[in-house]
Amino acid sequence: MTDKADRTLRRAERDRIRVEKAEEWLRGSRYRTRRARRRLTVVGGGAVSLVWGSAVVCWFLAPSTTAMWTTFALGATALVVYGWAASVLVVAAQGVIGAGNAHLDERQQAERNRIYALAHRGTFWMLLATAAGMTLVRPGDDLVIEIPSAAALMLAVAVLVTHLTLPHLIAGWRAADPVLGDED
Amino acid sequence: MSAEEVHNRIPMLRAERGVSRKELATALGVHYQTIGYLERGEYSPSLYLALRIAEYFEVPMEVVFSLKPFPRLGSESQ
């Protein structure tokens, strides 16, 4: 066996053990129930909305120390809360999100396709809502909107973060309850 | 009941042959939770997977899958 094939096999075995440990943890945790997972999904969605909040703060208050510290505080809170929520949601989704396509069976691949289709639709509505919101807040009939560069940056970050996190949130919301034990 | 619901006898066949979900999943190359969802009726398999399940148990496909609920054991003799 070549070194490369040996490394690939060892990595696959490590991945398998890691997945089994994560699934074992899920079966024993309170997130094995749909209600708890959906509550966590809402918390994750709330964390993402903090990034949108900081964009709004920057829009109205930047450039100022208040806007800067509010952005840092909201960003750090969103990172910590979402980091925790996403790690649980990825485990709860049982590989549908996070694992490579080659590791998924037909059910998992079909579920992943549905999740990405829904996330794609969600991203479309988010972009539409952002465009509508920017049109509504423009002063008078001006065609040019002047906003602080920090707000433009935070808006772009918020759009990107939502685009990246939406599949996790949808996967967490839709995840079916795991089958407990082997023969229950 | 969903209009596209497919009933199956996988739990019965597994119990009869003494095969665990994990063993069946390994033999079919699917995640063991997929076997659980199949048994709970939360997932309908592709034709390919359905044929492989029937092949694994060495029975015709209609023995494993049906569009109508399977009669309960003993109900046919009454």
Q: Per-residue pLDDT tens for A107-130?
A: 999 999 999 999 999 999 999 998
Residues on B contacting A at a C-beta cutoff of 8 Å: 20-22, 29-37, 39-40, 42-43, 45-46, 48-49
A96-113: b (≥16 Cβ within 10 Å) or e: bbbbeeeebbbbbeebbe
Cα distance between residue A20 and residue B34, in whole Å: 15
Number of domains in chain A: 1
- In chain A, residues with a C-beta closer than 8 Å to the C-beta of B37 are 107, 176, 179
Number of domains in chain B: 1
Name the amino acid, one letter, at B53: I
CATH of the domain at B27: 1.10.260.40
Q: Residue B2 — very low, low, confident or very high, per pLDDT cuts 50/70/90?
A: low
Q: Where are the beta strands (DSSP E) in chain B?
A: 7-8, 65-66
Cα distance between residue A64 and residue A67, in whole Å: 5
Task: Specify the residue for token string 């465009």.
Answer: A131
Q: Does residue A181 lie within any of the structural domains?
A: no
CB contact under 8 A, B34 and A105: yes
Q: Are B15 and B23 within 8 A, CB to CB?
A: no
Q: Does residue B33 lie within any of the structural domains?
A: yes
CB contact under 8 A, A179 and B21: yes
Range of the domain at A62: 3-174
B8 pairs with which residues across the strands? Answer: B65
Angle formed at CA B64 by CA A109 and CA B71, multiple of 5 degrees: 125
A89-93, A127-131, B2-6, B36-40 — which is least confidently predicted? B2-6
Examine the predicted complex and report whether its ipTM is higher than 0.85.
no
